[in-house]
Structure 1
Amino acid sequence: MLQKLGQLFGVAVAAGVLVAALVAPLLGGIGITARNVATGFLNMPSELETPPPPERSIIYDVEGGVIAEVYDQNRELVELDEIAPIMQEAIIAIEDSRFYEHGGLDVMGTFRAALRTIAGRTQGGSSITQQYVKNVLIESATSQAEQEEARETTLGRKVRELRYAVALEQQMTKDEILEGYLNIAYFGDGAYGAESAAQHFFSVSASELTLGQAATLAGLVRYPELYNPRLNPDQAQDRRDVVLDRMVDTGVITREEAEEAKTEELGLDITMPSNGCVPSKQPFFCDYVIQEIEKNEMFGETETERARWLRTAGLEIHTTLDPDMQAAGQKAVDKWVPRENKSRKVAAEVFLEPGTGAIRVMAQSRNYGPDESKIGETSINFTANADRGGSTGFQAGSTFKAITLAAALDEGLPYSTSFTTGSTITVTGQKSCDGAPLSDWTVSNSSESGSAATHNMVSGTKGSVNTYFARLQKRVGLCDVIRMAENLGVTRADGQSYDNPHTQGNNSFTLGSEEVSPLNVAGAYATFASRGVYCKPQAITRIVDHQSGRTIEIEPECERRLSKDVADGVNYLLQQTFRGGTASGLSIGRPVAGKTGTTDNSASAWFAGYTPNLAGAVFVGDPRGPNQYPLRNVTLGGRYYSVVYGATIPGPIWRDTMVEAVKKLDEKSFAKAPSKFGSTSEPAPPQRNDDADANPAAHQGGVPDVVGLGRGEAVAEIQAAGYQANVSDLRLPSDQPEGTVAVVEPGAGSRLPEGSVVNVFLSRGPSGGGGGGGGFPGGDWGLPGFDSEWGMF
């Protein structure tokens, strides 16, 4: 200890002599002495905190692949033994050849630099320790004033740096100081520290640097931009040769080695930095992870503090994204809804692991970028809620019917709960959650939602019958269905409550008229898959903070929200959609359950489906406004669609993703339908009677010719003939007057069993195409076929 104090005082006296010599001409010989200056020098603040410099954070997928790097400064901290010895020798030779000999003060170098500073010209010459001190002061500055003070070209700054350097030499070993310097120094072109510089300029690690590469990098720290080898290769090569000569002078290398190295080209192999989410292959998931950190108070008191931590702390951020599943999802959305489609439609999907909430897939058919006016580009994550970089949501259509089923089963209603409904009904007497009566609600079966008849939960779900679910919601209670949605994590994407004045009077809740995100819909369906256990969607599993030495483990947030019986009951019903229902043709060769969704006027289309160990939701629509730009008469992926339903595009996206995703998962089966909900049989179909006397219309006149008639008159004639009339929301271009019947299907004269459904399409007037007639329009308008598989619903 006494020896160190003696060394410190000796250095202080030397510093005093130097400072006295420098300031004496300025002070006019007022009697200041070197010892007085030395005493004052020793009394200056000397304790310098040396926190790790800002370092880049890295986001990893579940298999350890890099998703993105995020940083304020492109720096990767390494230990000294991870930096090639020749790099260490090169930096010492050119910056401070007596580094291992002095005590933090290179008297001649400092004297020369100080004289030039007084003359108004900055000059190098500071020891490596002093340069390290300067960089630490700059990097640790927390205000603009501190930044300016650390960078000012004054004698006072030189003296402060020198005092800190002298003290630092007593606290740290030479190797520790050299390691700190090589990690904090700026090498230009956005590369901070030797490791990042080696990777950037030569695509090698710092441990692999050759003599020529090391000399090139060592020459950069004095004037990083002037000697930038990418921009100024001639100046960089000249500077490299200066370093090589200096290494000869210090005895590090021979003259022959230097001359041989001078004959080499710079040999650059530039790796441009990839900061942030734009260059990432999974940009929207990257953005979601960043939002999760910046918006979560567990990572810091303020958003500014959290953002700085993310970009400077050198974090290892381990996430849930599965690269193989993600690749399958991205391929599927790009196939069915290409990113730069002229109709500006978008597909977005998210897949979760039931029982943990782990996000395995988050993809959408857009390039990541800030220019929303550019076709195919957006910075909005359409899978997420608004508070996590998402949109304000989209109406989810009939995917909400699963929520109504859960509410009904939760209240003990059996599968046999039946209603006889027409193609159009009026529901009265519904109340909002505050008890206020709601206005009457008229609801119709759309062309994709099944026929008018007597339905129970099984047939109503299989056919996605709007009128059945309207009646079921009334039976359960609108508010109970709303509360079930919240219970399953399906909240509005804009963060508003379902009880606010804007949404409270929503009669059509069961038909998915609320704006939600695919992430929340997937979370609800994952709850069914996990037999009633809801898990909050999770993107991050672990964060390693190397600077603080702590590791943050993030466990799944799960709790039971449904009984097993209720979840199993819903699972049974949603399996039926693949068995002759609206999801026919979307099976993947293992047990699946799910639900299509199409909103009014085909504003948007959805599909949500799952296996017992993977759940996903897909949305397709127009972010400019689905109602203003519906999914009608669009061409996507080289295919023309007159109208898009849930099973037309969203279903195949889900299927194509799921087929690939489940390859790495064990095949599991759903539990059997709980006996407590009774029989799983569908209602008996309308009685068929082939006796001409019993039903003359079935054999004699068949379907009446109602083309050109008004809606009411046409319906009356069809019903009088012994059939049910289903008037579609879809209006066709036709020579018939607007609002009259353009087409019926099956066509006029078709002989059907009593009670069969006749689909009626009204005219929207001439629109540049043919129409009319009593036959099914087929390919002229691209309408779906009303076959037994309902494959387009």
Structure 2
Amino acid sequence: MVGVSAIAGLLVAALALPAVGGLGITARNVASGFLDMPSNLETPPPPQRSTIYDSEGGVIAEIFDQNRELVSIDDISPVMVDAILAIEDSSFYEHGGIDITGTMRAALRTLSGNTEGASSITQQYVKNVQIEAATSQEELEYAREETISRKIRELRYAIALEQRMTKDEILEGYLNIAYFSDGAYGIESAAQHFFGIHASELELHQAATIAGLVRYPYLYNPRFFPEQTEERRNVVLDRMVATGAITEAEAEEAKGIPLEVDLSTEPNGCVPSDQPFFCDYVVQEIEKDERFGPNETERARWLRTAGLEIHTTLDPQTQQAAQDAVDKWVPRTNESRKVAAELVIEPGTGHILGMAQSRNYGPDESKLGETSINFTTDADRGGSIGFQAGSTFKAITLAAALDEGLPYSTAFNSPTSVSVSGQRSCNGGTLATWTPSNAGDTKSSTVHNMVSGTKASSNTYFAQLQARVGICDVMEMAERLGLKRADGTLFTENENSLANSSFTLGSEEVSPLRVANAYATFASGGMYCEPQAISTIVDNQSNTTIEIEPECERVLDEEVADGVSYLLSQTFNGGTASALGIGRPTAGKTGTTDGSAAAWFAGFTPQMSSAVFVGDPRGPQQYPLRNVTIGDRYFGVVYGATIPGPIWQETMRGAHEGLEVEQLASAPSQFGSTSPPRQPEPEASADPAADAGGVPNVVGQSESDAVAALRAAGYEVNVSGTRIRSAQPEGTVAAVNPDAGTRLPEGATVNVFLSSGGGTAGAPEEDDEHWFQVQPATTPMARADD
């Protein structure tokens, strides 16, 4: 009784001071204490959904804690305003923040044992602001507590708020912050969620329905309690008649309209996105970047409540081309469980243009074709611990060699296998003798220089080039180019890496993101740029815009970068990438790891750099790319040019459509001649019969003669349907794979390619995208060298 009297005295004293003069000093003292209470309530914009956009303004995803979109009072249907005022606070435009009559009535009813609310719209707005401003569970409970103290605070804030905000501003804030049931916060989201229209388009029966939800959002949820919702709607309509907002006839007509809501589920987060892995990468970029908040919790809250407009670098054309390519060559639900992942990046900016992999986004790793791991990136951004990159790392050795001034003519005798000893690690230790091998069993040695060694992707050549340069220098070059292990450690700090002689052959576990960006450094003339997924963030809560500029620095002399680009361009000219041209200048490198555990292709034009990985996320060594059926295609062995190469080719073709053709740099003169090395004269054998064997040289022969000769030598023959440009007459044999002279086990398959005439040897026609599907039926190679 004393408590209720105190509240009544406080309300009368605070709200009607001229009328309480006869109540004595107690009311005046209470009023004085009430007015001395803190009254400066901050009213920031309420939490709203953030949107991630691609580079052309297309929506990638919306992310939110509360589904809310703010609108101005002018963009709300007038009948909606009438409905909410009628049911919640009909005297809103007359009182000073508190409905005195209603509050006194509620106090008296509470005194008699019947609890009744009496909050004006201003008071409700105050309560919601305090709830949304809470940053801890304690603050939230403080804002929601059912106590006299909380009610007094709201009253004081309401009076002060009415003195600094207009009625329309308060009503606009209330309609934007109120919860309207079923996950819809704010009037715009409610209109879209329940009726699929904007708040400005609401009609009478719709407005009355939404207005009726505020009091008890769960009880009147039309998804679960449609009958109660319709009854509540009709109560609102009756109240609108009582306030004079509508006529009885209008109310009856509205009551006759069946309650039909068009409930929609707003997609929230990355799972429903068409680009889920890129979306997840953007989310992690924000949550883990100290520029966006003092800790990860604050950054996550900012992302989900600040109504951010996050503009990204993702190019929809490139993304679509990449996704189509990886899905075509490695279907998402392939029974072999292999995965293809591709990253496309822009040289000179670091902008990520495409990020695709052949998996659906989801948490159930045991479900075929589903994963939440982003295989294109490092572990700290939602990726894996990486995969061995194979011969794509040979480009790093080339960069280190040219950086130290070695010429293109640097040559080594490059036999089938070679022993390399005396290499010293970055920690000063001496590495054990290493004996790398090439593919096959060639019968004589071949001398390679940088040009021919790159074309042939000779393991034994690059092993010796790495030894000449110094393995530590090669590792340090890799780090200059932004490469590091996908687990986050640097090569020069990782004990396993320091003891790894086969660094040049790509035995380190890395991500496609790092490989693509290293190759982009060559394409940009030696400018390294940090990978960047976000270009601009507009913060609608603070009305600020954050421009994120590329972070670039020169890490290579331009001549060195151009020199590597030239060497890598030669792989498309009779080298391991001969069939992978896209009709414009390109440079790149195939990569297949030891035992065909993983296959790669990395390459670039002046406008884009891309790296493609194909392998088995369960463990490439345990589940290699040998004797596998992927989709409806069987592969005896998957090399870098078998699947990753065509994925890269189709992606780059699609991504470059409509772009001007730009030239790669020519070979810098400072590195000398690009001519092939002079080969040693073959030594005559004491026993002529000893020189026989291996794949016969059938180049220039007719198809029938070549097939007969190869079968006579004990091999199976596959004649490719793809004809390649060649100096040989049309219809004759232009090339065989493996090369003539290679010793293979009896019964192995030799691939034969016929000439289309009118061209240079080793250049397959670009219009056939299936050239590399054919693989040997048996696998004679202990180590791939592409």
Q: Which TM class, normalised by the smaller chain length?
A: 0.7 to 0.9
1:235: which partner in 2? 228
2:416·2:440 contact (CA, 8 Å) conserved in 1?
no
Residue number in structure 1 paired with 2:136:
143
Moved more, 469-478 or 657-666: 657-666
Which of 192, 196, 203 is the equivalent residue of 2:185? 192
**Bigger CA drift: 335-344 or 259-268?**
259-268
Counterpart residue type for residue 13 of structure 1:
A
1:661 aligns with 2:650: no
In 1, Cα distance between the equivalents of 2:600 and 2:570? Answer: 18
SS at the partner of 2:538? strand
2:589 match: secondary structure: strand
| Counterpart residue identity of residue 364, structure 2 | D
1:204 to 197, 204, 216: 197
- The answer to whether the 8 Å contact 1:17/1:37 transfers is no
> What residue in structure 2 maps to residue 494 of structure 1?
487
Q: Which residue in the other structure is 2:450 paired with?
A: 457
Output the CA distance in 2 between the equivalents of 1:447 and 1:81: 77
Equivalence for 1:542: 536
The one-letter code matched in structure 1 to 2:620 is P
Aligned-pair CA distance for 1:183: 0.8
Looking at structure 2, the residues matched to 777 and 562 of structure 1 have their Cα atoms a distance apart, in angstroms, of: 40
Q: Do the aligned partners of 2:10 and 2:30 also contact (CA within 8 Å) in 1?
A: no
Which of 603, 621, 632 does residue 638 from structure 1 map onto?
632
Q: What's 2:742 paired with?
A: 759
1:576 to 570, 577, 595: 570
Question: In 2, are the aligned partners of 1:187 and 1:224 still within 8 Å (CA)?
Answer: yes
The TM-score, its normalising length taken from structure 1, stands at: 0.85
Q: 2:475 aligns with which of 474, 482, 497?
A: 482
Alignment of 1:270-419 (within 5 A): 270-419=263-412
- 2:30 corresponds to 1:37: yes
Asked if residue 444 in structure 1 is aligned to residue 441 in structure 2, the reply is no
CA drift of 1:687 comes to 5.6
SS in 2 for 1:665: coil
Amino acid at match of 2:692: V
Counterpart-to-counterpart distance in 2, 1:371 and 1:574? 40
Q: 1:589 to 1:633 in 2, by over 3 A?
A: same
Q: d(CA) in 2 for partners of 1:134 and 1:506?
A: 64
Q: Against the structure 1 CA distance between its residues 397 and 639, is the aligned structure 2 distance closer, same or farther, given a 3 Å change threshold?
A: same
State how far apart, in whole Å, the 1-side matches of 2:114 and 2:365 are.
49
**Any unmatched runs of 5+ in structure 2?**
1-8, 698-712, 719-734, 753-771
| Corresponding residue of 1:733 | none
- Deviation, structure 1 residue 745: 9.0
1:180-204 per-residue CA deviation (whole Å, 9 max, x = no partner) reads 1011100111111111111111222
CA contact (8 A) 2:176 2:187 kept: yes
| Matches of 2:296 and 2:61, distance apart in 1 | 20
1:603 to 588, 594, 597: 597
Gaps spanning 5+ residues in structure 1: where?
1-8, 21-28, 706-717, 723-741, 763-771
Secondary structure, in 3 states, of the residue corresponding to 1:402? helix
- Give the Å deviation of 1:449: 11
Amino acid at match of 1:442: T
1:780–1:161: structure 2 CA closer, same or farther, 3 Å change rule? closer
Aligned counterparts of 2:109 and 2:36: Cα–Cα separation in 1: 26
- The Cα offsets for residues 495-547 of structure 1, whole Å up to 9 and x where unpaired, read as 11212222211110000011111001010111111111111111001111111
Residue identity matched to 2:596: S
Q: 1:118 to 1:140 in 2, by over 3 A?
A: farther
1:421 pairs with 2:414: yes
Q: Are the structure 2 counterparts of residues 78 and 294 from structure 1 closer, same or farther at C-alpha, using a change threshold of 3 Å?
A: same
Whether the 8 Å contact between 1:744 and 1:759 is mirrored in structure 2 is: no
1:678 aligns with 2:667: no
Aligned partner of 2:424 in structure 1 is: 431
Structure 1 counterpart SS, 2:545: strand
Q: Between Structure 1 and Structure 2, how many residues are aligned?
A: 720
Query: Which moves more between the two structures, 320-329 or 148-157?
Result: 148-157
Q: In the aligned structure 2, how far is the partner of 1:223 from the partner of 1:628?
A: 58
> Matches of residues 247-258 of structure 1 in structure 2 within 5 Å?
247-258=240-251
1:703 paired with 2:692, answer yes
Of residues 577, 581, 586, the one that matches 2:580 is 586
Match of 1:510 among 488, 504, 508: 504
Distance in 1, matches of 2:206 and 2:213, equals: 11
CA offset at residue 413 of structure 1?
Answer: 1.0
After superposition, the CA RMSD in angstroms is 3.3
Q: Distance in 1 between matches of 2:555 and 2:441?
A: 31
Is the 8 Å Cα contact of residues 349 and 619 (structure 1) preserved in structure 2? yes
Secondary structure of residue in 1 paired with 2:657 = helix
C-alpha distance after superposition, 1:24-56 (max 9, x if no partner): xxxxx9x98433332232222222121221111
For 1:420 and 1:36, locate their aligned partners in 2 and report how far apart those are by CA, in whole Å.
Answer: 102
- 2:49 touches 2:304 (CA, 8 Å); kept in 1? yes
- Structure 1 residue 234, shift from structure 2 partner: 2.0
When structure 1 is superposed on structure 2, of 165-174 and 424-433 the one drifting more is 165-174
Inter-partner Cα distance in structure 1 for 2:325 and 2:256: 53
Instruction: Kindly provide the amino acid, as one letter, of the partner of residue 308 in structure 1.
Output: R
**Secondary structure at 1:191 match in 2:** coil
SS in 2 for 1:291: helix
Partner in structure 1 of residue 81 of structure 2:
88
Structure 2 counterpart of 1:264, from 257, 260, 279: 257
Given candidates 181, 186, 204, the residue that maps to 2:174 is: 181
1:158 aligns with one of 115, 129, 151: 151
Cα gap change, 1:424 to 1:39, in 2 (>3 Å): same
1:466 partner letter: N
Contact 1:448 1:792 (8 Å CA) reproduced: no
Q: Decide whether the 8 Å contact of 1:11 with 1:103 is kept in 2.
A: no
Q: Which residue of 2 aligns with 1:50?
A: 43
Name the stretch that deviates more: 322-331 or 139-148.
Answer: 139-148
From the superposition, tell whether residues 780 and 604 of structure 1 become closer, same or farther in structure 2 (CA, over 3 Å). Answer: closer
CA contact (8 A) 2:749 2:778 kept: no
Match of 1:652 in 2: 646
Q: TM-score under structure 2 normalisation?
A: 0.86
